[in-house]
Amino acid sequence: MDEQVFFKKLNSLCTSTEVFDFVSSLEVMSDTMASGALQRISEVEVDDSGLKNPEGVLENEVFRALCFQFEFKSSKLSNSGLLNALQALTKLRIDPQSTLMASLLSEGEERLGKGQLTVKNLCALGESLLELEGPSCATLEQIVNHMQEKDIEKWSPREMVMVYKMLQVTVREGEQYQDLLNRMNSVTLTIVSQLSPKFTSVILNSLVVLHQTRAVPLVTALCKHSVKHIPYFTGNELVNVLEAFLYFGHREQIFTEALETHVPKSIFTMHPQTVSKVMQYCCRKMILSKPIFDAVAEGFISDADIFTTDQIAEYIIPFGTLNYLPPSASSLFRKLETVLHTRFSHFKPHTLLNLLHSCVLIQHYPVNFLPKIFSPYFLQQLQAQPPGLDRIVTSQLTQLFLTVALECPFYEGPKLLRKYQVKAFLTPHSSLDVHLLKRVKTGLLYLLKKRIYFASEVSTPYFYTVDIEIKLDEEGFVLPAAQCEEVHRRIALCVDGQNRFCVNSHNLLGEEAIKQRHLQLLGYEVVQIPFFEIESLQNCTKMAEYLHKKIFPHTYELSC
């Protein structure tokens, strides 16, 4: 039978029985056709869990006859027949120590040493070796060295992907094979539009593992190309893509929009680890996507009992970080409390602290669990495990303690000992926008005439730092900032730059929202000065007018 006709017929068959019947009907068959039959069997009979019908395949007479031919005539096989058969038998989980596999591997490596293999052959051998022997296989480096001599521009997308995968496990030093990688990155850029979801994901993952931070044009093109594949990525493939976005610091609005379409439709079929990675991506990029967060909340309420403790934390923490309560918030936190009661002791100490701290950011108070958090035993556990009781951890503990004091007066359990309390909170996401602060201070100077009437970056006894503080006496007159007597009112100006808000949003981050809430409870009059209200003010006069209306809305009009 003509090979073209053979392969057309072969690819239409859907079971191993059909393949065996078809092969049995042929009197003569080339080794390429025979290896093609083995490959088709591996395609229809192998899934993620392995070989679906081991006995029906491995004990079949036709299969055994094919294997016999490959084992004892390996030296007479064509390169394609040899290496396609090796690939197929590897996928079928044939024992790597068997004489059949040893014979094929030995012949393949001998031809490699003689330089007889084409790019396609080299990739087939590399794929089999990766599967059979793993990253430690020394022959992979030999294959990569041969690939360096080939014309990269003639490689197919599949061959390009295979070389990236081999490089992932063979590169041991920083600049090793970097020249090859530079050439591959340049050529891959020209074929991005041809890449399937799987190939897109594999290459992005390789670029992360190989630290290709200088391949910016390729990374950007792959990230944009990945948008159209979102509905078709497997869970692991989407995780690889999201990790690449995070590693390279990339963000695409259209990628977020595609996730917003995909996640709500698929939330009950997505693997929890994939959803966790989506939430990590949103949290790290400060993307408050209500469609995603609302869907994730529903998924948590439905399936949290089967999640790992890390997945539980990864689902919930972004709600606190980005200061968002979904419509199902009451059911969400009821479910979380149930899970915590059942599995409290299973959580790692730092994971548990991060989780409970994120809850108080959005006014959900884990009072039933705080006695355990403030106990000496739990604090010793925190100290014993990395990162120990560092500044971030002690800031979280102190903020939990302050939250209980200010917002849960009914709490009567143990308190946090002073030695664990920080003097000032660390706010990693909400640092002060110095440029914006300077503009506000200039406007205040214009308004109040003298610099002595306000202070900036003021430390308080309550762990928070106030951006700008103004003191008033009982009659509403502004007092010098240094004066401590006769202070009747304290005004805290919160100069909120873009970094204190979710991306493309006017939604404050959780750590800034709790700060402003606590300052109010501590007696301050909090006045928010958000960047989006003042970025269009062109001069000092406009800024002074704005500040006058915000800080002193009930006093006389400003006369400049």
Check pLDDT > 90 for residue 555: no
* Pairing status of strand 465-472 against strand 478-479: antiparallel
Report the chain's terminal Cα–Cα distance, integer Å.
97
Q: What percent of the chain is helix, strand and coil (3-state, nearest 5)?
A: 65, 5, 30
What's the rounded mean pLDDT across residues 46-68?
A: 90
What's the rounded mean pLDDT across residues 187-205?
A: 97
What's the rounded mean pLDDT across residues 502-524?
A: 96
| pLDDT, mean over the chain | 94
DSSP state of 193: G
DSSP letter string over 282-296?
Answer: HHHTT---HHHHHHH
Name the nearest CA neighbour of 26 among 6, 43, 44. 6
* Segment 468-497, tens digit of pLDDT: 999 999 999 999 999 999 999 999 999 999
Phi, psi of 462 (to 5 degrees): -110, 25
* Segment 324-357, tens digit of pLDDT: 999 999 999 999 999 999 999 999 999 999 999 9
Check pLDDT > 50 for residue 557: no
pLDDT at res. 560: 40
Rounded (10°) CA dihedral 98, 103, 106, 112: -130
pLDDT at res. 174: 59
Our measurement of the distance from residue 20's CA atom to the centroid of its chain's CA atoms, rounded to an integer in Å, reads 45
Name the nearest CA neighbour of 251 among 210, 283, 211. 283
Which H or E element spans position 50? strand 50-51
pLDDT at res. 173: 64
* Segment 407-450, tens digit of pLDDT: 998 999 999 999 999 999 877 777 899 999 999 999 999 999 99
Which H or E element spans position 493? strand 489-496
* pLDDT interval class at 558 (50, 70, 90): very low
Name the nearest CA neighbour of 51 among 101, 100, 99, 88. 88
Check pLDDT > 90 for residue 170: no
Cβ burial of 172 (10 Å; 0-12, 13-18, 19+) is exposed
What's the rounded mean pLDDT across residues 391-397?
A: 95
| Exposure string for 213-234, b = 16+ CB within 10 A, e = fewer | eebeebbebbbebbbebbeebe
Which region, left, alpha or beta, applies to residue 177 given φ > 0 means left and ψ of -120 to 50 means alpha?
left
